[in-house]
Structures are given as structure tokens and as C-alpha cells.
């Protein structure tokens, strides 16, 4: 009886050690290396473009709020 239970525990452990653990380690250290490398030139350019767009949107929002403040001073209280 004990041999059957022991086999049920050892068999998955051996399969995990042979197949899952090496793949897990490879993927883990590959992702660590990618994180440590930082942003690529493409990613940095995309980030810069997004930052510029956000800045333009912020300026537009400020302009729209200034226009609304002049034309309808109570617009903020309506919401």
C-alpha cells in the first residue's frame, strides 16, 4: 500500500523536475534579462510620442476650460 502512495508522489515530482522546471527557469531568466535591458529604441520613441500627445491634450483641455469659463462661468457647478 505504501509503495502505491509513494509512486503517486514520486512520478509527478520526476515529471515536474524533467519537463516543467527547466522550461520555467528558462522563461523566468529570459524575462528577467528583458526587464534589465530597459526600453528598446522603438519603445522609447513610442513613449516619447505618447508623452507629446498627452502634453498637447493637456494644453487643449486647458484652452477649452478657459473658453468655457468665459462663455459659461457656471459650467463647473453643473456636473
How does pLDDT run across 7-60, given as a tens digit for each residue?
Answer: 888 988 998 999 999 999 999 998 888 777 787 889 899 999 999 999 999 999
Same domain, 46 and 70: yes
The confidence band for 79, taking pLDDT boundaries of 50, 70 and 90, is: low
What is the pLDDT, as a whole number, of residue 67?
A: 94
Spell out the alpha helix ranges (H) of 1-79.
2-15, 21-37, 41-71, 75-78
The answer, as to whether pTM is greater than 0.75, is no
* SS3 state at 38: coil
Same domain, 31 and 66: no
Total structural domains within the chain: 2
Look up the domain containing 23 and give its range: 1-38
Same domain, 74 and 50: yes
Give the lowest-confidence range in 1-5, 9-13, 29-33, 68-72.
1-5
Same domain, 56 and 20: no
Amino acid at each position: 500500500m505504501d509503495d502505491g502512495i509513494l509512486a503517486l508522489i514520486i512520478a509527478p515530482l520526476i515529471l515536474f523536475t524533467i519537463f516543467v522546471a527547466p522550461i520555467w527557469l528558462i522563461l523566468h531568466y529570459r524575462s528577467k534579462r528583458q526587464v534589465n535591458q530597459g526600453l528598446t529604441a522603438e519603445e522609447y520613441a513610442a513613449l516619447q510620442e505618447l508623452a507629446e500627445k498627452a502634453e498637447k491634450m493637456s494644453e487643449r483641455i486647458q484652452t477649452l476650460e478657459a473658453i468655457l469659463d468665459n462663455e459659461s462661468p457656471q459650467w463647473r457647478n453643473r456636473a
